[in-house]
Each structure stands twice: as structure tokens, then as C-alpha cells.
Structure 1
């Protein structure tokens, strides 16, 4: 069943390094092969819950690997028994 998970990572690094570290997390998401959309404050991913939670775990480790002394993350999950997709929620807003 597909669920949506939005992930915002806020690594404690020098300001000039923030985008570089966040981009490494987005690289991990892209490599997963799952559908995702990058937004200005968070990235939303569509997939099986177990796979998405593994990405959340990896995101913390990636931030530390690239210099973060601490990582604050915000995770939102949209789950319903029949599944939920990104398209059903925002498809009507796309041009």
C-alpha cells in the first residue's frame, strides 16, 4: 500500500554547507527509485511505509556523514488503508 511521507532535515552545519548536505539526502531519495517531489521546505516521497522509514533513518546518518553535529528532522506521514498518492492530493494543481 502506498503512503506519503514528507521529510524535512535541518542539519547543524555551517550555513554555507546546508544545501550541500540536504542535497545528499535528496540524492538518497532519488536513488531509491520511489516517486518524490522536492519542495522549498520538505521533500514528499511516495512508497511503502517500511521503505520510507528506512530513508528517514538513512537521512540522519547522511547528514552526520557530511558534517552535521546534530540533525533535527520533521516527518509527516499520510496513511490510509487503501493507500494514498501524491497525484490524488495535488494532481489538480499541476499545469
Structure 2
């Protein structure tokens, strides 16, 4: 049941997270500024590295993005499971 929930929820989670990021970048100046700062610092680090390490920084960034993606999906899915659990508990206590 839980694994099938994860499979069914995956497209919804991806779409919702993309929407949230888009909204954050439009409405939260702190988020927008920090995001811009991160990109600028990363580019500075990347440009400062010797040529033979350029691929390593690319791999590092790719791994970080993959980790962040897994974390985001897991947190979102856990929040959804928690909401279903609370709904069930409330429903049971009312009856």
C-alpha cells in the first residue's frame, strides 16, 4: 500500500514542488536572493578551479541536486502520510 502510494504520488509531488519553487522565486525576496547568491558563489568556485577539476565540481553539483531531490520528495511524501494518519485518527475519534 505505502509503496503504491509513493508511485502514484510521484508525479503530483514533482509538479507541486516545481510550483512551490516557482512561487517562492516570485514572492520571497529572501529565497530569490539566497538562490542568486548560491549560483554566484558556485560559479566563482567553479571558475577558480583548475581545468582538471572542472568535471569534479560538475559531479559534485549533480550529486547535491540528486540528494536534494530525494530529500524533498521524502519530506513531501512523509507530510502527506502524516496528514492521512491524522485524518484517520480524527475520523476514528469522532466515531
TM-score (normalised: structure 1): 0.29
Which of structures 1 and 2 has the bigger CA Rg?
A: 2
Select the structure that is richer in helix: 2
Q: Which has the higher contact order (CA 8 A, sep 6+)?
A: 1
Select the structure that is richer in strand: 1
TM-score (normalised: structure 2): 0.29
